[in-house]
């Protein structure tokens, strides 16, 4: 696969059919020397809140699909992209209209949607323009950064008439981010590498929601020194970087252990701090980033950090929304 194809795959959440990149999603830049940038997201409109909620939605991105479901508007979905059907089990039985960067416009039209949801990256800006020329209404989002994900939840809440549910989700994510940061601020900050693909090696770089979450939980993401987005790395670079913790988001704990055991000079390998991560738990830029923050905190600091997070959460006078301490 060429550079353009791989960039599309990683940005869209599918790199070489690997499950890890299936959910390291959509709109994220890739490439160390020339990070891709997403197109322009549709600005929120004043009419959005006043208009009746759409009843025939098509989502062309798993993160947007997950938000629609989490807000309680799943009944409005009449079709999704192929990868939503794989990543979000609740929509597996819905009609699919193709991939993130190659949806079938004919299949979209056949479902007669009153709104199509897309992400500005993964080449979907051009799809939005084509759909609009065919008379379909679209909403284009961006989800590279954490604040953009929160904005997506807010926008979809207004679009779908689910503002209360959206506010609760946003509040839970923001409060968890603060609680996790407080709970881990006096703990060690291990030099960390987060790997999203091993063949070739791609890492979590800077200016991404995953980088922001690693920072929030008290990990020093070495990948941000390489490039923004999801840059390509090398074994030589990793050895020079000397990571103390290696989070492997590719499938298969045993295969990850065997792969990295070949380089015992890596401090993370020598200290048995190579952890296989279920990517679907941390890397979907969707409505449950509060749970993802907790999961990352456990990976970095161990399960005992949960009690400290709960204590930091309890400092807030507000009642706990769904997704708070457990």
Question: DSSP states of 218-232 as a string?
Answer: T-EEGGGGT-BSB-B
pTM of the model: 0.85
Mean pLDDT of the chain: 85
Please, which residues bridge with residue 275 across strands?
247
Range picked from 14-18, 27-31, 66-70, 133-137 for highest mean pLDDT:
66-70
Position 69 scores a pLDDT of 98
318/326 Cα distance (integer angstroms): 16
Q: Which domains does the chain have, with CATH numbers?
A: 38-176 (3.40.50.1980)
pLDDT tens, position by position, 96-146: 999 877 889 999 999 999 999 999 865 666 788 889 999 999 999 999 999
- Cis ω for the linkage preceding 200 (within 30 of 0): yes
Burial of residue 173 (CB within 10 Å: 0-12, 13-18, 19+) is: buried
Q: 109 — phi, psi (to 5°)?
A: -60, -40
Whether the pLDDT of residue 11 is over 50: the answer is no
The arithmetic mean of pLDDT across residues 194-212, rounded, is 94
Q: Could you write out the DSSP letters of every residue in 2-23?
A: -HHHHHHHHHHT-BTTBHHHHS
Whether the pLDDT of residue 234 is over 70: the answer is yes
279/304 Cα distance (integer angstroms): 21
Each residue of 243-268: b (16+ CB within 10 Å) or e? bbbbbbbbeeeeebeebbeeeeebbb
DSSP summary character for residue 88:
-
> 284 Cβ partners below 8 Å, 6+ apart?
23, 25, 62, 63, 66, 87, 292
């Amino acid at each position: 696969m060429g550079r353009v194809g791989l960039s599309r795959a990683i940005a869209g959440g599918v790199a070489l059919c690997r499950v890890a990149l299936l959910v390291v999603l959509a709109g994220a830049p890739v490439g160390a020397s020339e990070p891709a940038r997403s197109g322009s997201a549709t600005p929120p409109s004043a009419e959005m809140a006043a208009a009746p909620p759409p009843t025939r939605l098509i989502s062309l991105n798993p993160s947007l699909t997950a938000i629609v479901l989490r807000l309680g508007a799943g009944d409005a979905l009449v079709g999704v992209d192929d990868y939503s059907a794989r990543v979000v089990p609740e929509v597996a039985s819905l009609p699919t209209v193709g991939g993130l960067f190659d949806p079938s416009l004919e299949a979209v039209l056949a479902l007669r949607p009153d709104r199509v949801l897309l992400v500005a990256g993964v080449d979907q800006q051009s799809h939005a323009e084509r759909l609009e020329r065919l008379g379909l209404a679209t909403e284009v989002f961006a989800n590279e950064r954490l604040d953009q994900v929160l904005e997506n939840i807010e926008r979809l809440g207004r679009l779908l008439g689910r503002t209360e549910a959206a506010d609760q989700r946003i509040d839970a994510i923001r409060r968890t981010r603060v609680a996790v940061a407080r709970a881990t601020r006096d703990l060690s900050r291990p030099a960390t590498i987060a790997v999203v693909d091993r063949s070739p090696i791609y890492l979590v770089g800077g200016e991404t929601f995953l980088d922001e979450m690693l920072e929030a939980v008290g990990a020093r993401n070495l990948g941000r020194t390489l490039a923004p987005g999801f840059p390509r790395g090398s074994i030589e670079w990793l050895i020079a970087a000397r990571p103390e913790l290696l989070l492997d988001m590719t499938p298969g704990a045993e295969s990850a252990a065997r792969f990295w055991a070949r380089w015992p000079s890596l401090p993370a390998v020598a200290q048995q701090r190579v952890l296989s991560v279920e990517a679907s738990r941390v890397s979907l830029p969707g409505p449950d980033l509060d749970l993802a923050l907790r999961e990352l905190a456990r990976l970095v600091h161990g399960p005992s950090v949960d009690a400290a997070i709960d204590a930091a959460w309890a400092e807030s006078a507000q009642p706990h929304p769904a997704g708070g301490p457990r």
